[in-house]
Amino acid sequence: MKAFLLLGVLLLMVSTANAAGEPAPHWDGRFHNQARLPQDGVMKKLRIGLKYLFLRNPPETRPANPIAVQPMTRQQVLDAPDHSLWRLGHSTVLLKLRGRFFITDPVFAERASPVQWAGPQRFHAPPLGLDELPPLAAVILSHDHFDHLDEQAIRRLAPRTGFFLAPLGVGDRLIEWGVAPDKVRQLDWWQETEVDGVRFVATPAQHFSGRGLFDSNQTLWASWVIIDEQLRVFFSGDTGYFDGFRQVGERFGPFDLTLIETGAYNVAWPNVHMQPEQSLQAHLDLRGRWLLPIHNGTFDLSIHGWQEPFERILALSAQAQVRLSTPQMGERVSLDSPHAGQNWWQPRPAQEHRRTAERAVAVR
pLDDT tens string 60-69: 899 998 898 9
Q: Which pLDDT belongs to residue 241?
A: 98
- Supply the range of the domain harboring residue 315: 2-20+35-57+68-362
Position 29 in a domain = no
Region of 56 please: left (phi>0), alpha (psi -120 to 50) or beta. Answer: alpha
Nearest-angstrom CA–CA distance, 164 and 195: 10
Q: Which pLDDT belongs to residue 358?
A: 55
The reported pTM is: 0.88
When the pLDDT of each residue in the chain is averaged and rounded to a whole number, the result is: 88
Position 26 in a domain = no
- Read off the pLDDT of each residue in 234-253 and give the average, rounded to a whole number: 98
Does the pLDDT of residue 293 top 90, yes or no? yes
Position 135 in a domain = yes
Nearest-angstrom CA–CA distance, 297 and 310: 9
What is the distance of C-alpha 281 from the center of its chain?
A: 17
Nearest-angstrom CA–CA distance, 268 and 206: 16
Position 342 in a domain = yes
- How distant, in Å, are the alpha carbons of 113, 149, 261 from that of 171? 20, 11, 23
Q: What is the CATH number of the domain that holds 92?
A: 3.60.15.10
Position 179 in a domain = yes
Percent of the chain residues past pLDDT 70, beyond the cut: 83
Position 123 in a domain = yes
The better pLDDT of the pair 103, 269 is held by: 103
Condensed to tens digits (0 to 9), the pLDDT of residues 26-44 reads: 898 999 999 877 765 556 5
Nearest-angstrom CA–CA distance, 116 and 207: 25
Position 349 in a domain = yes
Residue 75 · residue 68 · CB < 8 Å: no
The better pLDDT of the pair 117, 11 is held by: 117
What is the band of 113 on the pLDDT scale with cuts at 50, 70, 90? confident
Q: Which pLDDT belongs to residue 66?
A: 84
Q: Which pLDDT belongs to residue 296?
A: 98
Nearest-angstrom CA–CA distance, 357 and 362: 9
Q: Which pLDDT belongs to residue 59?
A: 77
Residue 310 · residue 343 · CB < 8 Å: yes
Q: At what angle do helices 2-17 and 42-55 cross, to 10 degrees?
A: 140
The number of folded domains in the chain is 1
Q: Which pLDDT belongs to residue 212?
A: 87
- Read off the pLDDT of each residue in 9-37 and give the average, rounded to a whole number: 60
Q: Check residue 134 and report its DSSP letter.
A: P
Mean pLDDT highest for which of 56-60, 132-136, 209-213? 132-136
Q: Which pLDDT belongs to residue 347?
A: 78
* Strand extents, DSSP E, the chain: 84-89, 92-97, 100-104, 136-140, 161-167, 184-187, 192-195, 198-203, 223-228, 231-235, 255-261, 288-294, 323-324, 332-334
Task: Please name the amino acid found at residue 269.
Answer: W
Q: Which pLDDT belongs to residue 93?
A: 99
Position 27 in a domain = no
Condensed to tens digits (0 to 9), the pLDDT of residues 157-171 reads: 999 999 999 999 999
Q: Which pLDDT belongs to residue 249?
A: 98
Residue 162 · residue 138 · CB < 8 Å: yes
Q: Are strands 161-167 and 184-187 parallel, antiparallel or unpaired?
A: parallel
Does the pLDDT of residue 262 top 60, yes or no? yes
Nearest-angstrom CA–CA distance, 226 and 301: 27
